[in-house]
Amino acid sequence: MSIVKTGSAHYQPLGKEGKGHVSTGSGALSDQPYGFNTRFEDKSGTNPEELIAAAHSSCYAMALSFALSDAGYQNGDLKVDAEVTLEKDGDGFTVTKSALTLEAKVDGIDEDKFADIAKGAKENCPISKLLNAKITLDYTLQS
């Protein structure tokens, strides 16, 4: 089984003066602005790293939800944040890290079992597998 999802970007003119627009095939994002100023100067709009962070946090939350459900846990609440780090690398840049932070409440689970399931979900999340960067996970399990 293959599932293909799409995204697209348009950028002009070239370089720092250029402006781009990014869209998703589903229409959830449509012509969202991005460019040098949204990536490096915190101007309004999005950027590739922010989109990767959203993709990673949502993918991990779903992977963990399914793993917990498969382990017999049905009641819970998961909140996942991701911080994607972009660092200067010679003449260019490299994404060096995606740091996941999880706040979880799962009825009836103990710390060791939760840690094992959370780690497995991090390693098996499709976006975690995609990223060739250090992926970390910090979590808080609320009782």
Q: For position 117, what pLDDT does the model report?
A: 98
Q: Tokens 């781009």 identify what position?
A: 20
Whether 109 shows a pLDDT value over 80: the answer reads yes
Q: What is the CA radius of gyration of the chain?
A: 18
Give pTM, 2 decimals: 0.89
> b/e for 114-129, b at 16 or more Cβ within 10 A?
beebbeebbeebebbe
**How does strand 92-106 pair with strand 134-141?**
parallel
What are 54-87's pLDDT values in tens digits?
Answer: 999 999 999 999 999 999 999 999 999 999 999 9
* Mean pLDDT across 89-93: 94
**31, pLDDT greater than 80:** yes
For 7-26, what is each residue's pLDDT tens digit? 999 999 988 899 999 999 99
Are the CB atoms for 68 and 113 separated by under 8 Å?
no
